[in-house]
Amino acid sequence: MSRTFSPGAGAHRRRLPAALVCVLATGSLAGALVSCHSGGSSGGASFSPRPTPPHTASFSGTPPSSIASSAESARASASAAASSASAAASAFEASVSAESARANEAAAAELKKVHDRGNALSDVSLTGKPRAETAGLLVAVVNIVNRTDKKASYAVQVDFVDTSGKTVESRTVGAEKLGPGERAQPLAVSDKPADVKLTPRVAKAQRY
């Protein structure tokens, strides 16, 4: 007896392996879209495109710890530099005061007796000193020359004036017992910040 085979039954048996492959592929590849075609057509897999990275420039919040640490280190270095400069300026001013304290005190006492500009303006002149040598302070070198034929002491008031001509601060310096033709160079130191534009001027000069 001859058997008759139905083409549909054979096709059904061929489709079973393809369906099984589709199930296995779906279980092993999470997130992938697998398209399985029955019959004589070949199976193919298609994947969704890779997502675009976010634009981080629009993010807000705390910066990474390494960046924050670098910024903090820079601030600390700037603060240390400012403290060091301030300490150097204080040390320079203290050294000047220690060397001339006695003469300056005597000069201040003498100038209290003077009601005009004094009798020794022609014996006194001012020159500058580089800030690199004064820890950034404005310092006037008071050049005193005894132009008489006998010993004399000097008292000098130096005013530091701003751009409008207003006196911002004053310093008194002195030189004691200079012989004829002898010179002295006491320093008048301003403790105002460097960004304050000041000019030193001789306000009084008394020989005694």
Mean pLDDT of 99-114: 91
**200 DSSP β-pair partners:** 160
Per-residue burial over 115-139, b if 16 or more Cβ lie within 10 Å, else e, is eeebebeebbeeeeeeeeebbebbb
Does the pLDDT of residue 101 top 70, yes or no? yes
Tokens of 159: 């005013």
Q: Mind listing the pLDDT tens digit for each residue in 149-192?
A: 999 999 999 999 999 999 999 999 999 999 999 999 999 999 99
Mean pLDDT of 5-14: 47
Write down the residue that tokens 């007796």 correspond to. 113
Cα end-to-end span (Å), the chain: 155
CA 159, CA 166: separation in Å to the nearest integer?
Answer: 9
**Position 196 confidence tier, pLDDT thresholds 50, 70, 90:** very high
Q: Which residues contact 70 (CB under 8 A, 6 or more apart)?
A: none
What local confidence, expressed as pLDDT, does residue 32 receive? Answer: 42
What local confidence, expressed as pLDDT, does residue 84 receive? Answer: 61
What local confidence, expressed as pLDDT, does residue 40 receive? Answer: 46
Q: Mind listing the pLDDT tens digit for each residue in 41-88?
A: 444 455 555 666 655 555 555 556 666 666 676 666 666 655 665 666
- For residue 104, give the amino acid letter: N
Q: Mind listing the pLDDT tens digit for each residue in 148-158?
A: 999 999 999 99
Percent of the chain with pLDDT over 90: 49
When comparing pLDDT for 126 and 100, which is higher?
126
What local confidence, expressed as pLDDT, does residue 31 receive? Answer: 45
What local confidence, expressed as pLDDT, does residue 102 receive? Answer: 85
Does the pLDDT of residue 110 top 60, yes or no? yes
Question: C-alpha dihedral over 99, 105, 111, 113, to 10 degrees?
Answer: -160
pTM confidence score: 0.56
* DSSP classification of residue 115: S
CA 126, CA 135: separation in Å to the nearest integer?
Answer: 20
Q: Which CATH class is domain 81-207?
A: mainly beta
Write down the residue that tokens 């060091």 correspond to. 84
Tokens of 123: 């014996």
Mean pLDDT of 123-130: 96
